[in-house]
Structure formats: structure tokens, C-alpha cells
Homo-oligomer: A and B are copies of this chain.
């Protein structure tokens, strides 16, 4: 059993085109020996966003705190704590924090979506 407190896990700035004001933490991944999927925690600051993008792996998401909008080309959902989002693989999607507090959510991906270099955290 590995037991970690969120605040002890390093924050990584998300530096992708179309992304503003977003950092994330890899809570568990292949680096801890997880063989199948990774649990990440995202923090989008007020006014921040992750623009529309797509990739060949799915997301399973739970909003932890704050409010924001999740969108696809033809759907826009206002989301808040306790709400869950599923994004199928290859579906374009994005998120926006339209509130005045951090939007924090857990976002799980299969290990196939962990595109970090093999030796890198």
C-alpha cells in the first residue's frame, strides 16, 4: 500500500498549446508501478482553460471543487463538485474555469495516454 497526501505530490505546469493557468499532479501512475491507468489531479485557476483537443485515449473525470465548463464541439456542460465526466477516446474536448476560485478535478487515463518520457516523472 502506498499512502500519499495530495499536497506532497509535485505540481507540473501544463504547457500545451491552448492551455492557460493549468497545473497538474500525477497521484499514481506507472512510476509507482500502476500497470493499467493513471490518476491525475488538475487545477485550473480562475480564467484558465484547456482548449479543445483530442487524443486516442479516454478520460474519466470527477470534479473535486470549483465550477467550470466542459465542452466538446457540440456540447457544453456547467460542472461542479461531485459531477463526473466521461470523454471517449478521440472526442475533442476542453475545460474552462469561468468562476473566481480554482477548478480542481481528478482525471484518469489509461497508461497508453501517459506520454512522458519512460524515465521521467
Interface residues of A (CB under 8 A from B): 1-7, 9, 27-28, 32-37, 39, 58, 60, 62, 64, 70, 72, 75, 77, 79, 82-89, 91, 93, 106, 108, 110
- A1 & B106 in contact (Cβ 8 Å cutoff): no
Knowing A7-B82, A28-B86, A84-B27, the reply to whether A72 touches B1 (Cβ < 8 A) is yes
How far is B80's CA from A7's CA once the two chains are assembled, in angstroms? 13
Q: How many copies does the complex hold?
A: 2
Contact B108 A6 (CB under 8 A): no
Q: Is the interface of A mostly helix, strand, loop or mixed?
A: strand
Chain B residues with Cβ below 8 Å from A75 are 1
Contacts of A106 in B (CB 8 A): 62, 106
14 of the cross-chain contacts (CB-CB < 8 Å) are: A5-B84, A6-B84, A7-B82, A28-B84, A28-B86, A33-B88, A34-B86, A35-B58, A35-B110, A37-B108, A39-B60, A60-B108, A62-B106, A108-B108
